[in-house]
Structure 1
C-alpha cells in the first residue's frame, strides 16, 4: 500500500526532525516503497532478548544496571523483525507518522508483562505507527487501533498489514468527539478492557479531551490505561512552540476526574529494543478511583 499523500510529506523541511526517536535507537533502513519520496522511510526494528535498562541520572550521565534483567514471561517474540513505514520529518500535525520513543517504552512493558493484554479487548488511543497495537495483537489481545488523524490511520493500516495483522480494525477516533457506545460492536472503543497510549500528551487542549475520554472509558468497562511519555518537551498546536506544562495539567485533570495515576518503576522493565532510556521517560498506569463506601448508619 502506498503511504498517505500529504502536501508536505515529500519534503525534508518539516518542523520536527531528529527529536522524536529514542537516543541510540538502532533501525534498519529499507528501500522506500514510494519511489522518489525523500521524507518517507521503511524501517525495521527487532525485538531483542530483554536487557537490564541503562538509564540516565539527573546530570544526564548513564547509570549502568547493577543487577541482571528481572524475570520475564516468555513471549516467543525475541528475534521478531517489525517493519514500519514512517516519516523522517513532519509538520506538527503529522507527528503520528513518526516513531516516538514512548512507543518503545510502552512496548517494553507489554513484552515484560504480556498478561496485561493477553486474551483481553485492548484499544490503543493515538496509535501513530501502530507498534503497540501490533505487539498487543501478537501477545494475544483483541485489538482496536485508533488515531485522530485519517492520514495516520491509513498508514497504520498499512503497517499492521505489512506485519501480518491486517485483520486488526483501525479507526479514526477524535478524543473531543468520541462515538456513542454501540452494543455488541467489535470495533467499539467502549468495549475495551485495557487502554494503551504512547506520547499523546503534548498539547493542552488535546490532553484535556484525552483525560475526559479516558475517565469515561475507565468508568464504563476499561480497567486501566497504560501510558508512556517523554516529559522533556511537547509541542503545542496552539502556540507552535515547545511546552513543558501540559503533563502537570493532565495530572491535575486526572485528579479532578477521579482518576488515580500510578508511576511504574522503569528500572523493573527490561529493554527489548536497542535504544537508551532517557531519564525523561515515564510510564504510568491510570485507573478510576474506587468509590468511597456508603454510610450504613443504623
Structure 2
C-alpha cells in the first residue's frame, strides 16, 4: 500500500484451565492468557451495569501496531477493518496506529496501551480545550467543553469515553477503578463471561459476548440450544493464521459438540485443519486460513 499511515486510517471508520489442557493439540500452541506485553485485557472490562448498560456487551481487543507489522501479509480489507477500531481514539488524541500496542473496545469506552508520553497527550488535550477534572488513582481525567467526551491519561495508558447523556467522565473513572478491583471486573461478576474470556487464547484480534440461553439449535445461524456465549480469536502468521471459535453452554450436560461440529462443517468449509473438541461446558473449534485471504468477522460466521 502506498498511502501514509494516517491517510490509511481515515479510510475506515483457574478452574477452566485444567479442562482446557485437553485442547493442547487444537490450539496449535497459541498464546494463552494473560501473556500480553500490556497485561490481561480482561481487567479493564467492567460489568455492563457499571458503564450504563443493562445487557451484556460485545468486547473487542485488537493490536494496531502488531497489525501494521503484518500489513504486507494481510489483505487491505482486513487491515482497514482492524485499524478502524482505533480510529476514533487516534483522531481524538492525535495518535498513529503504530503508537497503540493494544486497544480494548467496550460499548462506550476504549482503553489504549500506547508508547506516547503522557505529557504529549495531556498537551494535545489542552490544545483541544479539554479541561482537567482531577485524578483517579494514577489517571488524570479530562473532559471536553460540552462534557460529551472524557479521557483518562496515565503513563502508557489512555481511556476514552463518549456519550450524549453526560456520563463519559463517570465511565472513564469506572474503567480505571475496575482495573484495580478484581471484584468489579466483568470476568468476576458474570460467571459465563469469566469462562468465555478465560477460554479465549491471546490472539492479535479477539471478540466475544455472553447472552441469554438459546432455546433451540439452528446451526445455519450459529445458534445452539443452551449456549450462553461465544468468542472468536485470530492469531496472525505470515502465511497461514490460526483461528479459534469458542462456544460456552449453560452446563456440560447441555454442551452439544455435534451441533457445533455440524455448524463448523458447513460454515468453515474454506478453513483448513478444522478441529472440534469439548471440555466441560465449552466447545472449541480451531482452524487455519491463508493470511492473505483472512476476513475479520465481528460475529460468528454463518452460512451465506
TM-score, L = length of structure 1: 0.26
The higher-RCO structure (CA 8 Å, 6+ apart) is 1
**Which is helix-richer, 1 or 2?**
2
